[in-house]
Amino acid sequence: MHKFKIISFDTEGLLEAKLPDAKELYARLLQGDLTDRETSELRQIGLPIALPLIPRRMEIAKDYLRQELGAVEVYKIACKHFSYIQPNETFLAALKDPTIQEVDITFGMSAPSVKINMAKALAEALKVNTSIRQIGFWGNSIGDEGVKAIASALKVNNSIQKIDLKNSSIGAEGTNALAEALKVNTSIQDIDLSANAIRDEGMITLAFALKVNTSIQVINLHATNLGVEGAKALADALKINTSIQKINLMGNSIGDEGAKPLADALKVNSSIQEINLSNNDIGDEGAKALAEAIKINNSIQYIGLWQNRIGDEGKKAIADALKVNTSIKINLIENQASTSILGNRALKEFGDRVEL
């Protein structure tokens, strides 16, 4: 551990202090309040970083000190810095024990501002930690500000493989920050963004990231307020992306006009094995477009279409497609069962490959 000598100021004048380790210096760097005189003093004692600490160089300094301190000390300092919050004991235990690889974070009934600061402190530690493989923030309502802090950590963390952010009050700004992180992150394989207000605007930005990301295999976008434009943007990404194997779009409002571009994407995509389009207001036209894709696509194993409004025409088209594609399974429960008798009859010959 490097030792530092630092000059600090108070109302009485200069106070000279010798630091036993780098902790106080790191905290000062987080606050960004080192004076010119202090940086001059640091330069004289040989801090191995280019000074003065202008913003870009300050980031270099922070990175260096993170390596010196380790994730546990970084987390404790960050907790103190961000409104003096108490460390989350579950997370702290995971940082201390490298054999713990899965952590679910709970912030309880804390005020929104406290939850955000907790997320920021966690993010600082995740920039250093290399043992955690799976982390869950679901239901903590950390909002865009908290998610932006997590996203900044994901730009440098190369160990997290699964992250659960469902019901975290994420909006457009948070989604944009995550999209930027996913453009460079190469470790995340499974991301859950369900029950957030991503909307079409956020999906368009996220789709750009999915065009270049090569690690994500599972993405959950259930109930994220996606409409036609969001579906179109995602479809464009799926024509390029070769890593996603499972995608959940249940509980959105893409309709026939959103199902059609997704069907076009499935004609060329060869990695998706499961796609859930249940409860999306898809009718016969969307079903017929998907049926044409099923005839061509050889990789998809399951399509969820339950709780849509697919009638006889759509079901007959799907039945014709199942004669060509002999491996796929489809869920069509609660799709005009009482009025689409002919369509149901055409599908019954496929047995357990179709749920009606």
Q: Are residues 40 and 92 in the same domain?
A: no
Q: Are residues 133 and 14 in the same domain?
A: no
Is the pLDDT at 1 greater than 50? The verdict is no
pLDDT band at 8, cuts 50/70/90?
very low
- Domain of 53 in residue numbering reads as 1-69
Q: Are residues 96 and 43 in the same domain?
A: no
Q: Are residues 55 and 107 in the same domain?
A: no
Does residue 248 sit within a domain? Answer: yes
Angstrom distances, CA of residue 275 to CA of 204, 291, 318:
19, 14, 15
Does residue 204 sit within a domain? Answer: yes
**Which pLDDT score, from 0 to 100, does residue 82 have?**
83
pLDDT band at 353, cuts 50/70/90?
very high
Q: Are residues 117 and 223 in the same domain?
A: yes
* pTM passes above 0.75: yes
Q: Are residues 257 and 346 in the same domain?
A: yes
pLDDT in tens, 94-111: 999 999 999 999 888 788
At 272, which CATH number?
3.80.10.10
Q: Are residues 61 and 93 in the same domain?
A: no
Q: Are residues 216 and 346 in the same domain?
A: yes
Does residue 135 sit within a domain? Answer: yes
Q: Are residues 127 and 185 in the same domain?
A: yes
**Over residues 47-67, mean pLDDT:** 53
Bridge partners, 354 (sequence order): 330
For 76, half-sphere exposure in the C-beta direction (CA atoms, 13 angstrom radius) is 10
Does residue 134 sit within a domain? Answer: yes
The string of DSSP codes covering 279-304 is SS---HHHHHHHHHHHHH-SS--EEE
Q: In degrees rounded to 5, what are phi and psi of residue 342?
A: -65, -40
Q: Are residues 33 and 104 in the same domain?
A: no
**Over residues 266-294, mean pLDDT:** 98
Does residue 74 sit within a domain? Answer: no
Q: Are residues 128 and 265 in the same domain?
A: yes
Q: Are residues 92 and 55 in the same domain?
A: no
Tally of domains within the chain: 2
Does residue 275 sit within a domain? Answer: yes
Does residue 75 sit within a domain? Answer: no
